[in-house]
Homo-oligomer: A and B are copies of this chain.
Amino acid sequence: MKSLRVFAPATVANLSCGFDVLGCCLENVGDEMQISLSAEAGVRITKIEGADLPMATDKNVAGVAVIAMLAALNDTKTGVDIEIYKKIKAGSGIGSSAASSAGAVWAVNELLSRPFTNAQLVKFAMEGERLASGNAHADNVAPALLGGFTLVRSYAPLDVLKLHTPKDLFMTIIHPQIEVKTADSRRVVKPTVALKKAVTQWGNLGGFIAGLYTNDYDLIGRSLEDVIIEPMRSILIPEFENVKSTALENGALGAGISGSGPSIFALSKGKTTAEKVAKAIEKVYQPTGIIFDIHVAGINANGVTMVS
């Protein structure tokens, strides 16, 4: 039977100025999955290591994503067995569910000789997000599938774009192991915003994207500001302001909440700066007694890839 092992990357959504539309894909941080075609029709989760997640296909994000994909092909004959080797912690805010959904549909698409483009796979992976959070958002699955920085230009119709990625950007991510459920984190977000703040936000989003295309690191940094969501959500994250200001003092271009948190990202020019930022924010978190992980990662230009 044909089988594939893939790396399913972690992702950072929102990126301060792009709530629900921006995301980027990380190198080295992510899960592995073994996806195999089977003679027995249907989709099965056959193994999960590293996390306590549902084995029932219709309760598992990878399962529902592949079901949606096969349904779009009117395919009732293909059998798929999914093994998940989880490294990204659930609820971390760096796209744990997106990695599983994206990794699964990407691998099955490969095994079926690519009936879909990577951009077309986004809508199937979004079904995993719908199961995970009640909201079929695309800002993690798009970068997981396309790589680099991505923009969800529109949800109806779905239109996702891969943006230009400057070479020298590195992420520092701190994941405090407290539980902030995506659904809870969405609840603190108000349904209306002041037009004035919305204008500030789209100025920054525009500046960020112009900065990506012109490799203007200062502009990218100036644009990493969130006047809408961060003030509401950051209160759920211990030491957020302290981590952010420490990252900036140590040379980061900008910092903010990764997705719906509790992870905090800092974006830096150069790996040396990103590592310096990691050491500095580690010192901020140590006295809290909260268990945390820290990652330093480049931007993954490819998204999900085969593991050789």
- Chain B residues contacting A191 (CB-CB under 8 Å) are 194-196
Q: How far is the CA of A201 from the CA of B151 in the complex (A)?
A: 12
A199 close to B (CB within 8 Å): yes
Contact, CB under 8 Å: A21 / B198: no
A190 close to B (CB within 8 Å): yes
A236 close to B (CB within 8 Å): no
Contact, CB under 8 Å: A206 / B18: yes
- Chain B residues contacting A119 (CB-CB under 8 Å) are none
Copies in the complex: 2
- Chain B residues contacting A163 (CB-CB under 8 Å) are 210
Proximity string of chain A (173-215) to chain B, C-beta cutoff 8 Å, 1 when within and 0 when not: 0000000000000000111111110111111111101100110
Q: How far is the CA of A109 from the CA of B114 in the complex (A)?
A: 60
Q: How far is the CA of A205 from the CA of B21 in the complex (A)?
A: 11
A241 close to B (CB within 8 Å): no
Contact, CB under 8 Å: A153 / B192: no
Contact of A193 among B151, B153, B195, B222 (CB under 8 A): B195
- Chain B residues contacting A190 (CB-CB under 8 Å) are 195
- Chain B residues contacting A196 (CB-CB under 8 Å) are 191
Instruction: Name the distance in Å between A175's Cβ and chain B's nearest Cβ.
Output: 25
Contact, CB under 8 Å: A205 / B207: no
A121 close to B (CB within 8 Å): no
Describe A's contact surface by its main secondary structure. Answer: mixed
Contact, CB under 8 Å: B18 / A202: yes
Contact, CB under 8 Å: B22 / A200: no
| CB-CB under 8 A for A206 and B164, given A193-B198, A213-B213 | no
Instruction: Name the distance in Å between A248's Cβ and chain B's nearest Cβ.
Output: 16
- Chain B residues contacting A230 (CB-CB under 8 Å) are none
A219 close to B (CB within 8 Å): yes
Contact, CB under 8 Å: B154 / A207: yes
Contact of A203 among B154, B194, B207 (CB under 8 A): B154
Q: How far is the CA of A222 from the CA of B158 in the complex (A)?
A: 12
A296 close to B (CB within 8 Å): no
Contact, CB under 8 Å: B209 / A153: no
Instruction: Name the distance in Å between A252's Cβ and chain B's nearest Cβ.
Output: 19
Contact, CB under 8 Å: A21 / B222: no
Q: How far is the CA of A9 from the CA of B192 in the complex (A)?
A: 37
Binding site for B on A (CB under 8 A): 18-22, 151-155, 159, 161, 163-164, 189-196, 198-207, 209-210, 213-214, 219, 222-223, 228
Other than the given A192-B194, A193-B198, 17 more pairs (CB < 8 A) read: A18-B202, A20-B199, A21-B206, A153-B204, A153-B206, A153-B210, A154-B207, A161-B206, A161-B207, A189-B195, A192-B195, A193-B195, A201-B202, A205-B205, A206-B206, A206-B209, A209-B209
